[in-house]
Amino acid sequence: MPSRQLGVGDALAASILSLALFMLIGAQLAAQGAVGIMAAQLTSFALPALLVTRAKTGSFAPQGLRAFPLHAAAAPLLIGATLWIWNLHWVAPIGADWASIEQIAKLDTFFALESRPLWKSLLLFAIVPAFCEELLHRGLLMPALCKRLGAPAGLVLAALLFGLSHFNLSRLLPTAVLGLIAGGVRLRTGSLWPCMLLHAIYNGSLLVAANSVWAPPAYMAWIAAGATTAGALWLHRTTPMRSDLFL
């Protein structure tokens, strides 16, 4: 009978499978339009997590999809809506030269809103990625690493792997920061739902801002950082630590 404990080996197996699927078919699917982009996310991120979970536990149900206090939803909403601003001003410039101009231009074109309606872009680049990527990274990889290495080291390593999984060096550090904060939310709540909510709001806010004529001025980064901190403090005060669910 399958064991219900998911370990580091299981998490690494899911990560390797994710990488292999992305290299073999994910990139090709993503070039086929809206349906292909969704299929690439489901195939490259959600499917490996679900298959490894099924093989180990005998169920396709991810263990992190559990309820969390609804009052705590304010925190991931606030964090997701403000994190992108200070991440853009303070973190993104560090790795701005780590990717070629061609890579950056291709990425900008890929996310441009002119080619599709806003609702479709939010579905493709905010909602679906938040669900699929969180299943793998905060649902399987991060808990296993935290269990083996301890919460601080596991959290940081999982965040770096999350950044690397996007295959763009200019996005490595901002994406890793997102992964680090989403991981903290997972440790606090024990649930994937607030991580998915934070991730979707972050991606959606960044997507709209990237296609807007308005750019947040530098002083907004300080205000946004304060709001992000307020969200983290709210979560800390209102939600008991639930890392015991997987540590």
Q: Over its length of 247 residues, how does the chain's per-residue pLDDT go in tens digits?
A: 455 668 889 999 999 999 999 999 988 998 888 899 999 999 999 999 999 999 988 887 777 888 888 888 999 999 999 999 999 999 999 987 776 666 665 555 655 656 678 899 899 999 999 999 999 999 999 999 998 999 999 999 999 999 999 888 888 999 999 999 999 999 999 999 999 999 999 999 998 888 887 788 999 999 999 999 999 999 999 888 876 666 5
Count H helices and E strands in the chain, helices first.
13, 0
Instruction: Tell me whether residue 18 is in a domain.
Output: no
Per-residue pLDDT, 212 = 82
How many domains is the chain partitioned into structurally?
Answer: 1
Q: How many residues does the chain have?
A: 247
**According to the model, what pLDDT value does residue 127 have?**
96
Residue 123 belongs to a domain: yes
Q: Is residue 134 part of a domain?
A: yes
Measured CA to CA, the distance from residue 9 to residue 29 in angstroms comes to 28
Q: Among 12, 49, 20, 26, which residue's Cα sits nearest to residue 158?
A: 12
Q: Which domain holds residue 185?
A: 68-245
Q: For residue 226, what are the CA distances in angstroms to 83, 145, 156, 206? A: 10, 30, 22, 18
Residue 194 lies in a domain: yes
What is the per-residue pLDDT for 155?
95
Three-class DSSP category at 8: helix
Closest alpha carbon to 141 in 181, 93, 176, 183: 183
For residue 134, the model assigns a pLDDT of 97
For residue 165, being part of any structural domain is answered with yes
Q: What is the Cβ-side half-sphere exposure of residue 64, based on CA atoms within 13 angstroms?
A: 34
Please report whether residue 179 resides in a domain: yes
